[in-house]
Amino acid sequence: MPAPSRSAPGGGLSVGFAGHSDALLSFGFAPDAPAHCRVPCPRLAGPLAPECWSTGVVPEAVGMAGASGWRAGALAAVQVSGDEREFGLEQATAQAYRSLLAAVRGSLHPHILRIWNYFAAINAGAGDAERYRRFCIGRAAAVDTDFNDPPPAATAIGCPGEPGRLQVIALCSDRPGIALENPRQTPAWQYPREYGPVPPGFSRGALVGQGDRMRLLASGTASIVGHVSQHPGDPAAQLAESVANLSALLAEGAARAGVAFEPSGCEALRVYLRREEDLAAATAVIAASGLPPDRVLYLRGDICRRELLVELEGVFAPA
């Protein structure tokens, strides 16, 4: 295969809800979705078309052992899965991440910018036996030093159904992005022991690209200040706190990048709701937030902490 031309990571990257035929990475939210990756979280409201990540370059498939991959210019996408039915989630996670790193390291796109993780029953189990904590242990056992220096932006969401398959999707680049932390929050990779034997391995966001082609990729963002969950039992207050965290991250990205990021620059936003009955409260908060409502997708998904009812993630262009 011809080598892709080198450019800034994310050069030309844009995200929106459209046909997926020329997208590097497309996420579908229905069983028959015509997309590279079907997200196993039921759609509650929002755009019907797939969420498409495009670079302006026609993507090509890349053969990989144990993974599916596509590349387009400076970016590539990789999807791996782990079968936990025989060995459990921890080992399935470790194997999936070893496969991901084997596919990425030494390739034309060795730098992981953004990861999505989906698996069922994320909160099942007590204490350190909780499945999310076992997932974090498996990931930490498999990743290399470069992965943690600093870790990529990431989201981990629980999907409905019985445990069985872990889905891992990664956006990669031919050069590093810029990792972001939120000044209102403790970095997840510095969480204290009370949240598990291994802290979660992700940054709060990432900057990719340059100038007006730069994009801010916001990780899964919830109602956490410092490292403490806020507003238990109140979905509207939790989402409002999450939006405040998102605003702080946009300001941090602007300071790092030298360009402005505003809620109005959102290209795509996912709002994961633990309870479908909270949809009306969530849409009311979003309507008052300055985020463009036609670019917001609401999904039924479980959050990594039991007390949290909502989480959001998104992509932002410079204002």
Q: Which residues are catalytic?
A: 311
Neighbouring C-alpha atoms within 13 Å toward the C-beta of 69: 24
* Residue whose entry in the numeric block shows the structure tokens 């985020």: 291
Give the number of other CB atoms < 10 A from CB of residue 290.
13
Output the CA torsion 18→245→122→194 (10° steps): 160
Rounded Cα–Cα distance for residues 238 and 248 (Å): 15
Helix (H, G, I), strand (E, B) or coil at 313: strand
Q: Which residue has the tokens 């997200």?
A: 39
Q: What is the DSSP letter of 152?
A: P
C-alpha closest to that of 316 among 216, 249, 248, 167: 216
Quote the CA–CA distance of 299 and 311 in Å, as a whole number.
10
Question: Containing H/E element for 155?
Answer: strand 153-159
Note the maximum CA span of the chain.
Answer: 54
